Each structure stands twice: as structure tokens, then as C-alpha cells.
Amino acid sequence: MRAMANAIDQMNRAVASAIRWLALIMVLVQFCIVIGRYVFGFNSIAAQESVLYMHATLFMLGAGFTLLVDKHVRVDVFYAKASAAAQRRIDIFGHVFLLIPSMVALLSWSWPSVRNSWKILEGPISVGGIEAVFLLKSLIPAFCILILLQSLSLLVRLLLEGDKS
């Protein structure tokens, strides 16, 4: 089980390493869009949409890594003051009853839309935009799968940690 958890962690680290450059590229493209618009009077819908695509990719595919390194948003009014054992129980409850079921639900609800988008190779959001909305929508199940796997990895570690005590 620990080997499986390690493999999942490594996969999310690899995804994060691959997409982290999108942040820099996104800033550079946005800079070029602003310069093009206000200095040269040139505008490109596709360039503007590319920033949206990069932003979505960065956050959707980076979410598993964010969960791995425990940098997600947490409302920890009680959690921060709880004992390590209580925090472990809260984490287990959160994974089993909140995170995993919500990702399964989102995956199952979004799948028909993603499948239909691929079936018709759904086109641009705006006239002159990127003709790949089907790729953008594909980020939803990818997000769900990465979060589900990382949640399982963390859950395995939490349960193994409990076996030690």
C-alpha cells in the first residue's frame, strides 16, 4: 500500500513539475496581449483564451500536488488547536466522507458533458478563439482523478500511521 501511495505522490509531483512553467508562460502571454493592445492596437481572442486555458490547466492539474503538500485552503478554526490524533481523525473523516464522494460525484456528473464535447470536438468559446473547448472540459475529469488518487494516497498514509500507534 505504501508503494502505491508513493507512486501516486510521484505522479502528482511529475504533473506539477510539468505544468509549473505555465505560470511564467501565462504572465508572458498576458504581458504580450497588453502590449499588443495598448501599444500596437492589436487584439487576439485566441491569445486571450490561451491565458484562460493555461490558468485552468495550472489550477486543475496542480490541485493534486497542492493536496499532497497540504497547501490547500483550510478553515481550521478547530483543527489547528486539535491534538495530532484528533487531526488524523478529522483528516480521515474528510477524505472518506467529503473529498472522495464529492470528487466521484463531480466526475460522474461532468463526464456526459465532457464526452459530448469530445464527440462534436466542441469549438471556441468566442468567435476567433481556440477551437479546443473539448480539451478545456477534459480538465474536469483529470482534476477529479488526480484529487481522488492523491486523497487515496493520503488516506493510506493516515491509516498506516494509525496502525503504528
Give buried/exposed letters for 20-31 (b at 16+ CB in 10 A, else e).
eebeeebeebbe
Which cell numbers in the block locate residue 164?
503504528
- Region for 108 from its dihedrals, namely left if φ exceeds 0, alpha if ψ lies in -120 to 50, beta otherwise: alpha
C-alpha–C-alpha distance, residues 14 and 39, integer Å: 39
CB 8 within 8 A of CB 152: yes
Number of domains in the chain: 1
State residue 163's pLDDT score: 72
C-alpha–C-alpha distance, residues 63 and 75, integer Å: 17
What domain range is 94 assigned to? Answer: 2-164
Q: Residue 73 pLDDT > 90, yes or no?
A: no
Which cell numbers in the block locate residue 155?
488516506
Q: Residue 4 pLDDT > 70, yes or no?
A: yes
pTM of the model: 0.92
Mean pLDDT, range 47-69, rounded to an integer: 97
pLDDT, averaged across the chain: 95
Q: Write the pLDDT tens digit of every residue in 9-45.
A: 999 999 999 999 999 999 999 999 999 999 999 999 9
Q: Write the pLDDT tens digit of every residue in 114-130.
A: 999 999 999 998 899 99
Q: Residue 72 pLDDT > 60, yes or no?
A: yes
